[in-house]
Amino acid sequence: MNRVLIADDHDIVRFGLTMMIQDTFPGCKSDEAWDAESVKALMKQNEYSLLLLDLVMPDTDPNVLLHHIRNFHPGTRVLILSMNDEALYGARFIHLGAHGYIKKDAQKEEIRKAIHTVLAGKKYVSQELGDALVQESLDGKRANPFERLSAREFQVAMHLVQGYSQKQISEMLQVQYGTVNTLKQRLFEKLNIEHHKDLTELSLLYGL
């Protein structure tokens, strides 16, 4: 591994990952990013073997960012490190093109294992996420109601849960206000809810 990009908005997390990378891969260069724009800027300047990506950063839509990386930097492997629920977020982002997903609170050796696995050209999933993916395949359907949503509907749901207004979401996603309203109506129908408080309660129930 020649170079790795660590994307997280917390200084202490970036510092810890940088130390681990230097210890695991002596001589490997590492750079740090803290939002989507800094990730894109650094990836435009350098070629990275691996991107360690947090899902929750300021002014960052991880769906859009992952799509950008997949299209413009296909040679970069992406390992997501997040505190978000594996069964919901892990499965979705693996489907969207990430090469691995691991919780931030995993043991250091487990994170090292995930990095080696992804760099070896394989997918990395934890036992919990692997079980969820297998169960999804066996069921032939998705039990979690949020898994019924399209990628765009899921984006809108995430932003609504985080407290953004429809106007702010339209600006973030660079779509018309009416489009956001339509997506909101569709996701409410699919989730069988009527009010924003229902979405909040459902998100808490399923760890969104």
CATH of the domain at 82: 3.40.50.2300
pLDDT value of residue 150: 86
Q: Are residues 47 and 96 in the same domain?
A: yes
Which of residues 92, 122, 138 is at a domain's end?
A: 138
Q: Are residues 134 and 58 in the same domain?
A: yes
Q: How far is CA 169 from the centre of its chain?
A: 18
Q: Are residues 185 and 115 in the same domain?
A: no
Q: Positive or negative, the Cα torsion across 73, 121, 103, 126?
A: positive
Q: Are residues 10 and 108 in the same domain?
A: yes
pLDDT value of residue 53: 95
CA distances in angstroms from 83 to 43, 101, 140, 190, listed in the order given: 24, 10, 27, 26
pLDDT value of residue 8: 95
Helix axes 11-24 and 108-119, enclosed angle (nearest 10): 70
User: Which residue segment(s) compose the domain that 76 sits in?
Assistant: 3-138
What's the mean pLDDT when you consider all of the chain?
A: 86
Q: Give the total number of structural domains in the chain.
A: 2
Q: Of the candidates 96, 105, 60, 91, which has an alpha carbon nearest to the alpha carbon of residue 78?
A: 96
pLDDT value of residue 169: 92
The stretches in the chain having pLDDT less than 50 are 141
102 neighbors 81 (Cβ within 8 angstroms): yes
Q: Are residues 16 and 113 in the same domain?
A: yes
Q: Are residues 121 and 53 in the same domain?
A: yes
